[in-house]
Structure 1
Amino acid sequence: MVLLAVAGYLVVQYVTGGRGGPGCKVVSAKGDGATYEFTPEQAVNAATITAVGTARDLPERAVTIALATALQESALRNIDYGDRDSLGLFQQRPSQGWGTPKEIMDPAYASEKFYEHLEEVPGYTRLPLTVAAQKVQRSGFPQAYAKHEPDATLLAAALTGRSAATLTCEGRPAATRAAGADAVRAALVRDFGRDLLEPAGAEVGGPEASSPSAGAPAGSSGSDGRTVTLPVADGEGADAGTRGWQLAHWAVANASELHIRHVSYAGREWTAGNTDSQWRPVDGKNAEDAGGDADAVRITTAG
Structure 2
Amino acid sequence: MRDDGTLDDQYGPGGTTGRSDVTPSPERPASTTASAPPRRPWSSLAGLSRTRFGSLRNLLLPGRPGSGPAWARVALATGVVCCLGLAAFAQARGEAVQPTTRAGSTADAAERAGGDAASRSLPRTPVATPSATPSATPSADPDTTRTPAPRRSPARPADPAPVAGLTRVQMINAKTIVTTGRKMGVPRRGLVIAVATAMQESNLYNYASGVLPESQNYPHQAIGWDHDSVGLFQQRPSSGWGEVGQLMNPAFATRQFLTALREIPGWEDMALTDAAQAVQVSAYPWAYAQHEWRATEVVDAFLGR
Normalized per residue, which structure has more helix?
2
Q: Same fold (TM over 0.5)?
A: no
Compute the TM-score of the two structures, normalised by the length of structure 2.
Answer: 0.42
Q: Computing the radius of gyration over CA atoms, which structure comes out larger, 1 or 2?
A: 2
More strand as a share of residues = 1
Q: With CA pairs under 8 Å and 6+ residues apart, which has the higher RCO, 1 or 2?
A: 1
